[in-house]
A and B are shown apart, each in its own frame.
Chain A
């Protein structure tokens, strides 16, 4: 019988995989994709709690999270494109001109 614990454990595994992706990888786009992975895992947590407490509020919040994630992806990718025009790299360690 699949209970709330299973779904929340899956959500935490996906979230920590997203965190590992942000920490370990050096490519801007892969970091961005890991952020989407984290948002996805949070959506899963919302919906599973909504199901097991028999209320619909969790699903409404997933609605908003998906919308905000789409808007953030659009703006973030536009930023990546304009950064790429300045310095043709997506390696995050080379984007250090504001340092010091």
Chain B
């Protein structure tokens, strides 16, 4: 019990600090590495939420492939440090910040006002990967097939767009 609480606080503080680093730092590669740290922290949170399979998938795909792609593109485009980070034209900075704050307040008020009760007491370790597979191939078969089609389309589109012709 205490271990879960410690893990939750470490992972949540890491993810928030890393997210702040992503949006505030000058150097794009350091932002990408901070996003990597945030993804790791969220994978840790998945483990405390009885979803070890998803934690492994998150590290394998998100942290191991998508972020590598990001860092590749940053290196290929040879992006240097951003000289002027928050120099927008049009809407001033304070208004944008207020908009972001408004989104946060709009999300937090329902969360804090609702008194959540558990539908059933959570049983740790009750679900395994085979239960996940049963759901995936039985009830959610159509989204599964559509997702595979989407991946094919994305692959072809990515190759066509990035080709040099």
Contacts and interface: CB of A to CB of B under 8 A. Distances in A.
Contact of B86 (A1, A25, A48, A74): A25
Given A17-B23, A60-B135, A47 B15 contact: no
- Is chain A's binding surface mostly helix, strand, loop or mixed? helix
Contacts of B82: 26-27, 30
B109 to A, nearest CB: 10
A43 B107 contact: no
The size bracket of the interface on B is 35 or more
A30 B103 contact: no
Contact of A47 (B54, B62, B121, B150): B54
Interface residues of A, number: 70
- Is chain B's binding surface mostly helix, strand, loop or mixed? helix
A3 B49 CA distance: 11
A54 B132 CA distance: 13
A20 to B, nearest CB: 4
Contact of A77 (B70, B108, B127): B70
Interface of A: 1-10, 12-21, 23-27, 29-30, 32-34, 36-37, 40, 43-44, 47-48, 50-57, 59-60, 62-64, 66-75, 77-82, 84-85, 90, 93
